[in-house]
Structure formats: structure tokens, C-alpha cells
Amino acid sequence: MRRSKAISAIALFASASLVLGACSSGTDSSGGSGANQQDAKPREIGGEDKVYKRPTVPDMGEITTVTEENSHDYNNLIGVTNSAANLVATVAVQPSVYIGVVEGGQFEQQIDGDLMESVKVTSKEPQTIEYKFQKAAVWQDGAPIGCKDIYLQFLVRGKDTGKKFDSSTAGYEDIKEVKCSDDLKTATVIFEKPYADYRGLFSYTGNNSILPGHIWEKNAGVADITKLTRTSPELTTDKAIKAYTEAWLGFKPENAISGGPFKIQSADGRDELVLVRNEKYWGPKTGPSKVTVRTNTNSQSASQQLQNKEVQSIDTQADGPTAIQLKSIPTIKLLAQGGQTYEHIDFNMSRPLFKDNPEIRKAVATCIDRQAIVDNLIKDIDPNAKPLGNVLFMPNEVGYEDHYAGVGEGKVADAKKLLEDAGWKLGADGVYTKGATRAEFTLGYKTLDRRHKTWQLVSQKCKEAGIQINSGQKDKFNDDDLTVSAFDAALFAWVGALSKSSSSENYLSKDKGGTANYNLYSNSQVDTLLQQANSNLDFAARTKQINEADKLMAADLHTIPLFQLPDMAATDASIGVCDASGKPGDVTYLNFQGGQTWNMWAWCKR
């Protein structure tokens, strides 16, 4: 249940996109420096935004890779299409102001220095961001990449226009105006209210990217997009809406143009995608001259293709037996590391059993053995995996703190004591009761072998503590039960990104904007902290607020984080990623940015 599923804020998993990246206080409008300087401390919290420049790498010819679901639409920013599968194509062809990278074992947001001349906070009140695009940056048809493309997203993702254009409005609705200058190469974005995750706007790090504004103009019949406002009648005509929601379905050559290192040669939307070098790209030439991406949903079959050298890389579901097999083959490099997906158990806080009896939540959190779950389900894939200690930051993110130490250690006797101290009596059937209430509930989860094994481990251990946990396994649990809060407790996953503002949708009270708060949790202090964090431009202070919210949730135990799910991919040992010096390293993986192919422009022969 990961990359083949939708990742927008509307969709089940994407609501969990959380922030990373150095958010500084910016530069004041008077042009001051010193304490307000954005580039104060490289690589430290509150420091500068680092710049990523693509390396110049040797030509490695043609390669073939395998994924479990292929790209099917060019516009990945609308609810009807939004899928991580599309990222395999879009990260190669669509510009992104910031990109996620793996550096020092941590995820970071860095400015795409090939696309951007600079990204600066020029004012805090009102928050103002100046985006300067490289003069040489052009779309495949020669049109400049710049302010028109920023302006398109500003228009279609406003508070009122977002629904019409089937797009998430998070962050975009807070923009008051966009000013274009410098022959459309500079976009000055002025916010109505501060938005801390501005780095995720127009960027893959926030599940966003840039679409060609001039193509929308042509299909919408609009002469100049920058002359429109969010209330212009021309914006919401049927033709204008379809130019955004329908013209970019699939990969029509006249519309699905490139603004990146590769361009789309062909795409059938199901079985095969072919990318070739974009001759109009102004940056360094890509390593591969041609990349063929084929679909294979069977991890064992994909593994065999790699072993037979039919393909050079595979991107499959995390699978213990496959991981063990691939690790034993010296000609194959296996990549398995914690990603942005995490499994957890949520208690429905509207159910009297959990709402009125906090000791039940605490007892379950005491009797389950999280380490045993990790050892049984994850260790074969990632030997470094540990029980997760935070639901807002992942272990390989700046800001991670473990707030769940001591939770889920399989302490049966302690769990029983918690119940007995609260007046629960152990029945002849081995299950505790208090009055007419029985320590019994159903754990709902989508039919998936890993989830069923998790339920078995949880239920067996807690049965020893006098708590009966029944299986609520169901093929469409996530679709039919989870989103309407029709469960006692739920076992599922969130998939996040490096921009964290929309994580508040998971944990804010329903009446405060918790649209994905499926377990109906409510804590006014958590509400306040998350809302403040979403507008806090001081990264260190914001990180503290997010962690304070996580501490409060850990104390409430409305959710129990289990583990960070590993991303898994494998390549032929002859394939690597070259740095600026030409030295090849291992292929890395960003599940929120196309998986292993996120930086295939730098792939090279070892």
C-alpha cells in the first residue's frame, strides 16, 4: 500500500505530508542582513537553503528499469489522477523549485540550482518569496520556464478555484498575489498569512511540481494568463477547466512537454514508458541516453529479470524473501532504507471503550511488542529498522525525537496491572471486564499479508494480558471503513513528503481542519501547536512546536506508531550514481519523488 496509491492531500496516504528543510526567518523588507540573513548556518537547523546542481556524467547508453505501476498521466496535481506511479515520468520532465535529496543519510530539501537562479524570502510581513528562474531554462518547445508557470498554480489552487480544478489548495490559498517581472523570469509571491512550508509549493518535496502555463493558455483560449485573477470569468469556463483537468490526462505529445533533463518518447499508460534526453535542456547532459520503464507487479518475477540481466534495476514492494535472495547475489546491489511510509494503530476516540477508558489504550500500548513486529516483518529487509518513536518526523529527518520509548515492549504483567488498578476484573474466559464493558475490540485493516501478520502478533500478546483483539481484515477497509471512521481501531499507513503542513489534517480536531483525522482524536493543545507551526517561519521554533504536539499525542496514546516501512529497490552492481567529481555511489531512493529513478539523470556506469 504505498506508491501505487494516491498521494494528494485529498487521498488516503498523502495527507501525511510533513515538513523538513531549513525554514529561516528570512530577510526583512528593508534589505537588512545579519540575524535575518537566510544563509546564516549551512546544514544547521535555521540555516541556508542548500543548492543542488546536477553533475556532468559520462554517457552510459540505454537502460531498462522495472516498477510495479507505471506512469499514466502528465498532470499529477489533480485528485482524479494523483498517484505516486506518475512520479516516475513527471520527476524526469517537470520542473521543481526545490527537490528532495539524500545527504548524510537524511532527507533534505534543496533548491534546484539548474532551474533557479535564486529563491529568497524578501519580507516576513507580509511573507514574500522571490523566485528567480535561470534565463536559459526553457520548455521543450522553447517557451521560457518562469512566472507564467507559477501563476497558473496560484490561479487554479485558490480557496474557491481549487475545487473547480480538482486540486489541493494547501499553501496556495494563502497566497495573496503573484507579480511577474524580468521578462517573466521572476515571480514575486506575496502571502496573505505566513506559510511555513513554502518550499513545498511548486516542488516535489510538497507533492507538487510546475506545469507549462503557456500550454494551458493555448488550450484554454487565454491570451495572457498573468492578466487573470482568481475571480476572472475566463478562468472558470468549461474550456479553461478542461485545459487543466483533461488536456493533461495521459501523455499527449502536444501537451505533455518537458522542462527537465528527459522528455517522453512514448507512454502507453500501463506497460511501458520510454524517456530520452531532452535536447532543449540547458543543464548537464543525462547519463542514460534512453530509459525504458516496464511494469511488473510481481517482486519475485522482477527479481529474476534483474538476475537474468534483462533489466538493470527494479523497484518492488518491500518483501523479506526477495530481499534475502537479492542480498546473496554479488552482482546485485540491494537498496533497503526507511522511507516516508509508516505503519501505526489508531484507536477510534469516539468509541466509549477508548474514550472513557484511557487505561485500555495504555494497556494495549503496553502489551504489544513492537520490537517483535519489527524483527518478524522488517528486519530481513532493513536490519537497521527499529520501532518508530514519532508520528510527525521520521528517523532520517532533521528534528526527529523519540517520544514513544517504553511503549510497546510486550510487558504483559504491567498491562494487566494498569487494568486492575482501574477496576477491571479478569473473567473465567481470560478477558477483563468492568461492569458491562468487556476488554474486546476489532482491529480493522486492509487485506495484506504484512498487516495480517501484525494483527496476529498484536492479538496474541495482548490476549496474554486479558485483552481480546479480533481481526477486521477487509479488502476495502481503507476505502469503505477507514475514511468514515467505521472502526474500533485501525491498522494502516501514512505516506508523507518533506513538507509537513498537511500532517495537521491527520491530527487536528475535526472542527479545526482535521479532514484526515479518521480516529476522531481531539486535543486543543495539539490543535494550537500544529496551527502555530504551520505559520511559523522560524525552523528551530517550528520543529519544537511539532515535537511538543507529538509529545502530547504520545501521552494520550490515541495512536501507536509501529515502524517506518522500508523502501526497497535493487540494481545491477554495474549501475551507480555519479557525483560532481564523477565518482559513482550507490543508487538512492526517494519514495515521494519517483522512487529510485528520482535522480536518474546522474546514473552512470561504475
- Give percent of the chain above pLDDT 70: 91
Give the pLDDT confidence score for residue 3 in this predicted structure: 32
- The answer to whether position 560 is within a domain reads yes
Report whether pLDDT(40) > 80: no
Spatial separation of the C-alpha atoms in residues 193 and 124, rounded to whole Å: 10
How many domains does one find in the chain? 1
- The answer to whether position 500 is within a domain reads yes
Give the pLDDT confidence score for residue 93 in this predicted structure: 97
How many Cα atoms are found within 13 Å in the side-chain-facing hemisphere of 333? 18
Residue with more model confidence, 397 or 165: 165
pLDDT bin (cut points 50, 70, 90) of residue 22 is very low
Query: What is the chain's alpha carbon radius of gyration, rounded to the nearest angstrom?
Result: 24
Report whether pLDDT(6) > 70: no
- The answer to whether position 107 is within a domain reads no
Q: What are phi and psi of 313, to 5 degrees?
A: -155, 155
Give the pLDDT confidence score for residue 392 in this predicted structure: 93
Residue 528: all three cell numbers together: 494550537
B/e letters for 462-486, b = 16+ CB within 10 Å, e = fewer, are beebbbbbeebbbeebbeebbeebe
The overall average pLDDT reported for the chain is: 89
Residue 298: all three cell numbers together: 510481481
Report whether pLDDT(19) > 80: no
Give the pLDDT confidence score for residue 497 in this predicted structure: 64
| 446: containing domain | 339-566
Spatial separation of the C-alpha atoms in residues 147 and 183, rounded to whole Å: 9
Q: What are phi and psi of 532, to 5 degrees?
A: -65, -40
User: 277 and 262 in contact (C-beta within 8 Å)?
Assistant: yes
Looking up residue 453, the CATH number of its domain turns out to be 3.10.105.10
- The answer to whether position 396 is within a domain reads yes
| Residue linked to cell 494551458 | 216
- The answer to whether position 118 is within a domain reads no
Non-local CB neighbours of 253 within 8 Å, separated by 6+ positions? 264
Give the pLDDT confidence score for residue 46 in this predicted structure: 66
The mean per-residue pLDDT over the stretch 245-262 comes to 97
Give the pLDDT confidence score for residue 34 in this predicted structure: 29
Report whether pLDDT(95) > 70: yes
Spatial CA neighbour of 117 closest among 177, 32, 181, 53: 53
Helix (H, G, I), strand (E, B) or coil at 571: strand
Spatial separation of the C-alpha atoms in residues 316 and 407, rounded to whole Å: 31
One-character DSSP codes across 455-503: HHHHHHHHHHTT-EEEEEEETTIIIIIGGGT--SEEEEEEE--SB-GGG
What phi-psi label fits residue 513: left (phi over 0), alpha (psi between -120 and 50 degrees) or beta?
Answer: left
- The answer to whether position 160 is within a domain reads no
Spatial separation of the C-alpha atoms in residues 42 and 299, rounded to whole Å: 41
- The answer to whether position 57 is within a domain reads no
Q: What is the pLDDT of residues 507-559, one digit of tens each?
A: 999 988 887 899 999 999 999 999 999 888 888 899 999 999 999 999 999 99
Spatial separation of the C-alpha atoms in residues 527 and 451, rounded to whole Å: 30
DSSP 30: T
Give the pLDDT confidence score for residue 80 in this predicted structure: 85
Q: What are phi and psi of 218, to 5 degrees?
A: -60, -45
- The answer to whether position 21 is within a domain reads no
Q: What is the pLDDT of residues 324-370, one digit of tens each?
A: 888 889 999 988 878 778 999 999 999 999 999 999 999 999 999 99
Q: What is the pLDDT of residues 411-426, one digit of tens each?
A: 999 999 999 999 999 9
Residue 485: all three cell numbers together: 471512521
